Amino acid sequence: MLIEGPLKIAIAEPEDGQGKILVIGFQSEFQALDRSGRVGRFRAYLEVLNENITAPEGTDERNRAGMLIVQQIAEQLLPHIESGDLVLEETMTVQIRQDEQAVAVSDLLARENP
């Protein structure tokens, strides 16, 4: 399922073949907005994600799982978009391992920063 929004997400295979790598950036139209416009657009994107995740029909489990991962990442990015301290021109990479897919992104970040 494709959900148009402020994020550009590409999926890559890691060299070791374990899991997936998400390469995440921001659409140029989103980057051009002022801070309040970005915050409003990003919150609306989170609402659309939530609506699609919780829809009783029309979304298969694989798509729902993918949207949940994107939602977790977007929820972690929101405070940084609100504060304006995120460099929107840079890309981020998130590696998801098979044995860690059930773990929240915030838990993964907490492991990196003891």
**Residue 57 predicted with pLDDT over 50:** yes
Q: What is the pLDDT of residues 61-106, one digit of tens each?
A: 888 888 999 999 999 999 999 999 999 999 999 988 766 444 555 5
- Look up the pTM and report it: 0.78
pLDDT of residue 19: 84
Please name the residues in contact with 97: beta carbons below 8 A apart, sequence gap of 6 or more.
18, 19
Mean pLDDT (the chain, rounded)? 85
- The answer to whether residues 11 and 22 touch, using CB atoms and an 8 Å cutoff, is yes
- The answer to whether residues 11 and 93 touch, using CB atoms and an 8 Å cutoff, is no
How far is 41 from 63, CA to CA, in rounded Å? 22
Mean pLDDT of 21-47: 96
pLDDT of residue 73: 94
How far is 91 from 8, CA to CA, in rounded Å? 9
Q: Which amino acid is at 39?
A: V
